[in-house]
Amino acid sequence: MKLKYYGTAAAEGIPGLFCGCELCRYAREHGGRDIRTRSQAAVDGRLLIDFPPDTLMHTICGGLDLNEVHSCIITHSHSDHLYAADLEMRRKGFAHPSGDRPFTFYSSPKASESIRDIINKYDLEKQNRVLLKVIEPYRPYTIEGYTVVALEANHDPNSGPYFYIISDGKSSMIYGNDTGYFPQKAWEYLEREKIVFGFVSLDCTGMDMKGMVNWHMSLDTAAKVKERLISTGCADQSTIWCVHHFSHNGGLTHAKLEEAAGRYGFIVSYDGLEVEF
């Protein structure tokens, strides 16, 4: 399996749209890996994760081809992860997609509401342009040939938050942004199933701030999740650990974040990073 990160920032992006903090000024001046768009990723170029307002940017600059991607799993309904208004761009007359497969979203019941509103407003389901499937946590679903299991996340409950296990029969991964330290029910599932993950991507919104436990994580909390996954047999020496989803409020450049994350055994995501496992 291969995961590509198209965007790696929290809601504000780096640099933030209206921000003049030291990190945002540095990012504007230096560019490169210090520029971070809103979080989005894809597995093997087939299974998209999240649909942020920077999706168009990712098709222009990141190599994302939405004529080759037909399925998207949604972590939650916050607009930096689900910008449903852009679905209007798939209506007839606005898009001429290659092939006749619809674009299908998979989300929690709560996160599905804004998708359903746009589908109904523009008759996208009747046009076979956009479909919606509501999925329940802790149940396996087959999506694009992968087994996908949603776990309840420690995040704003009004956003219907999930994080995901994705497996192809040979390798498995956790994609865990926009969650604090995992909820007990999620831990119970992980400890019962004892899947050995080849790749684990964890929220690190707070960068090297200390004690960020709820809704998001900091490096020290991500390290505690890592330790528990190892202790429960969900990881081994070959597991690749990555931190992801960063706010400019964390204050670290990419280079400084790499240094801090390296002390915990994590690599650091950046826009365009590809990880094979």
Strands 162-167 and 146-152, by their bridges, are antiparallel
State pLDDT tens for residues 118-170: 999 999 999 999 999 999 999 999 999 999 999 999 999 999 999 999 999 99
pLDDT digits (tens, 9 = 90+) for 235-258: 999 999 999 999 999 999 999 999
**Residue pair 40/63 in contact by the 8 Å Cβ criterion:** no
Tokens at residue 225, please?
A: 């999740």
Q: In this predicted model, what pLDDT tens digit does every residue of 166-199 receive, in sequence order? A: 999 999 999 999 999 999 999 999 999 999 999 9
Handedness of CA 145, 173, 80, 138 (dihedral sign): positive
46-to-3, 70, 71, 277 alpha-carbon distances in Å: 10, 7, 7, 16
User: At a CB cut-off of 8 Å and minimum separation 6, what does 98 contact?
Assistant: 67
Q: Which CATH architecture has domain 2-276?
A: 4-Layer Sandwich (3.60)
pLDDT tens track for 27-39: 999 999 999 999 9
206-216 average pLDDT score: 97
Whole-prediction pTM:
0.97
What's the pLDDT score for residue 187? Answer: 98
pLDDT score recorded for residue 114? 96
Mean pLDDT of 39-66: 98
**What local confidence, expressed as pLDDT, does residue 186 receive?**
98
Quote the CA–CA distance of 182 and 80 in Å, as a whole number. 21
d(CA 111, CA 77): 5
Q: Compute the chain's Rg from CA coordinates.
A: 18
Span 78-106, mean pLDDT?
96
Three-state DSSP string of the chain: CEEEEEECECCCCECCCCCCCHHHHHHHHHCHHHCECECEEEECCCEEECECCCHHHHHHHCCCCCCCCCEEECCCCCCCCECHHHHHHHCECCECCCCCCCEEEEECCCCHHHHHHHHHHHCCCCCCCEEEEECCCCCEEEECCEEEEEEECCCCHHHCCEEEEEECCCCEEEEECCCCCCCHHHHHHHHHHCCCCCEEEEECCCCCCCCCCCCCCCHHHHHHHHHHHHHCCCCCCCCEEEEECECHHHCCCHHHHHHHHHCCCCEECCCCCEEEC
What does the block give as tokens for 48? 């998209």
Contact between residue 33 and residue 271 where contact means Cβ atoms under 8 Å apart: yes
Find out whether 16 and 24 touch, Cβ atoms under 8 Å.
yes
Tokens found for residue 2 = 């291969």
Q: How far apart are CA 212 and CA 181, in angstroms?
A: 9
